[in-house]
Structures are given as C-alpha cells and as structure tokens.
Amino acid sequence: MHLHRYEKIWLTVGILTLAAFVIVAGINAFAMGAMPPSDRQMIDPTKVDQTPPFNQPGLKKIGPNEYDATMTAFVFGFAPATIEVPVGSTVHFRVTSKDVVHGFQIVGTNVNMMVVPGLVNTASHTFTKPGNYLILCNEYCGAGHQLMAAHVVVK
Amino acid sequence: MAQTTAPQTQQRHEEHTESLRGTLASVMILGTFIVVCWLGVFILFLTRQ
C-alpha cells in the first residue's frame, strides 16, 4: 500500500495524540483513583428511610479531617440540607434517591453524579478553601427541580 | 505508446501531491483545535480537584 508523505505525517500525529490521551486516562484511573461514582451498591428505593445508614442521613467524622456524609435526595431537596466541615476536610459523599432520578453536583468542584433510585453513589472531595459550596440537582426531576439545593459550609 | 504513458503518470502524481497540501493544513488545524480543547478541559478538571 502506498502512503503519501503527508498522510504519514497526519497519521503519526493522530496516533501519538490518541496514545497521549489514553496514557493520561490510564494514569488518572490507576494512579489517581478516578472512577465512576457508583460501586453498584444496591438499596430498595421504597425502604430508604428504614435502611441504615440512610435512616439517619448526616455527617459522621471517621478520622482526622475525614468525614462520611450520608445523604438522601428526594423531591425537592436533600437531607441534610446543610453540612459544616473545617477547611482541609475530605468528605466522602454517599447518596441515594428516595423517588426519581436526581443529580448531585457541587458547584466549582469535580463532584458531579447522578442519584439513581435503587443505587448508592459515592464521590469524595477535599475542601481546601473556605466558603459556602452549593449542592444542586442537575437532572430535571419535577416541578420544583429548581428549588432543590443543599450547602456545604467550609470554615 | 510507452513514452507517452510515463510522463502522464508523473504529472498525475504531482497533482496528487499538491492537492494534499490543503488537506494537511486542515487536518493539522482540526487536530490543534481538538488538543487545545482537551487540554482546556483537563486543566479545568485538575484545578477543581
């Protein structure tokens, strides 16, 4: 097969670019721990209020500067509506839905996941700057969707 | 007959070379655009971590 010199140039550039993207994605996944927000943990969506730990949603300290935030999403809000952590804290969010599909996005961070009824989704973030972080639902869930919000206060 | 065929082939080959110059430029412009977009998104991802 005859390849034109220019074709060789752009094929080389294209393959090298693709290789660079794949290597970065691999480093991100295997060395930096990036993964999808769900570990396929199941829950009966009709019995969220009776299933621990979601029967008592809230913040729990699990180590120095490390917290577990157990949260539920429902039409139209999150429980708890506000959580407070000190600067430098790593918070592991564990969220499930009591009714329909919701979104869980912390504005200005990489935390952005769907909250699907029947599944428990998790995401972690280290809050290095003080402020009031908005958690919002970014999946249209009904007439009061725009009211659905919670806050992380970092002091 | 053989003498007339050879120059025709060469001429056709030259035309082929010239017509790919624009293709190379457009492929490189598109490639640069994709790489710049990817880098922008990746830098945004890293700064938000």
Inform me whether the pLDDT recorded for A16 exceeds 90: yes
Give per-residue pLDDT as tens, A99-138: 999 999 999 999 999 999 999 999 999 999 999 999 999 9
* Contact yes or no for A10 and B20 at CB 8 A: no
From B24, B38, B48, residue closest to A109, measured CB to CB: B48
ipTM, two decimals, is 0.74
What does DSSP assign to residue B48?
Answer: T
| Residue B6 pLDDT exceeds 60 | no
In the CATH scheme, what is the homologous superfamily, with its name and number, of domain A38-154?
Answer: Cupredoxins -  blue copper proteins (2.60.40.420)
Task: Give A-chain residues touching B48 at CB under 8 angstroms.
Answer: 108-110
pLDDT value of residue B11: 58
Q: Where are the alpha helices (DSSP H) in A5-48?
A: 5-30
Which chain B residues have a beta carbon less than 8 Å from that of A8?
none
pLDDT tens, residue by residue, A45-101: 888 888 888 989 999 999 999 999 999 999 999 999 999 999 999 999 999 999 999
Q: Active-site residue numbers of A?
A: 74, 76
Prediction pTM value: 0.78
CB-CB neighbors (< 8 A) of A7 in chain B = 20
Strands (E) in A4-118, as ranges, are 38-42, 58-63, 66-74, 77-79, 82-85, 89-97, 102-106, 112-115
Is the distance from CB of A125 to CB of A109 less than 8 angstroms?
yes
Find the mean pLDDT for residues B9-32: 77
Alpha carbon B32 to its chain's center: 11
B47's CB contacts (< 8 A; 6+ apart) are none
